[in-house]
Amino acid sequence: MGDAQATEDRWVVLGKIGGAFGVQGWVRITSYTDPPDNILEYERWHLRQAGQWAAVEVEDGRMTAKGVQAKLAGIDSPEEARLQVGVEIAVLRSELPPTAPGEFYWSDLEGLEALTPSGELLGRVDHFRSTPGGDIAVVRGTKEHWIPFVKDRIVKVDLEAKRIVFDWGVDWLDD
């Protein structure tokens, strides 16, 4: 049971503050959610400042042609907003909505052992990247593998055993 609790109560970074907007302390948000304005579904965010997570209330938010913008409690001027640029935004894993069967949050897959279908170790899932060509799982082992994170490449995800099997070879070169 301890593992399940640890899984539920870790920080999941949903984005970061990208810049100041307007005269009332609004900030532009670089959102990692899909779609980007899903980040506005949370009434409270945690900002990472000086190595600590501090709760902040989201007073207002909107999706515009230029992206996601938010008004955070206690940030009331462009000067205060500019001080937040680059700060990460997170929520607790337990605050994320449940996933549908066969769907996973990237944060749940990071750290899993990555194996080939024949059981050879590729390494561990280090992180994910969104690229114009699609999402990539970056696996680090004796070498780094950039594996397209698509249905055809994912053989099996086993969260209990902390492993994921990719249709990938240990000696394959990344395209």
Reported residue count of the chain is 175
d(CA 125, CA 144): 10
> Which architecture characterizes domain 106-166 according to CATH?
Roll (2.30)
What residue segments make up the domains of the chain, in order of their start? 2-94, 106-166
Query: For residue range 124-135, what is the model confidence (pLDDT) as tens digits?
Result: 999 998 888 888
Indicate if 106-166 has the same CATH topology as 2-94: no
Residue 95 DSSP class: G
Q: 2-94 belongs to which homologous superfamily? A: RimM (2.40.30.60)
pTM as predicted: 0.74
Amino acid, res. 55? A
What is the enclosing helix (H) or strand (E) of 31? strand 26-31
Query: For residue range 60-114, what is the model confidence (pLDDT) as tens digits?
Result: 999 999 899 999 999 999 999 999 999 999 999 999 888 888 888 888 999 999 9
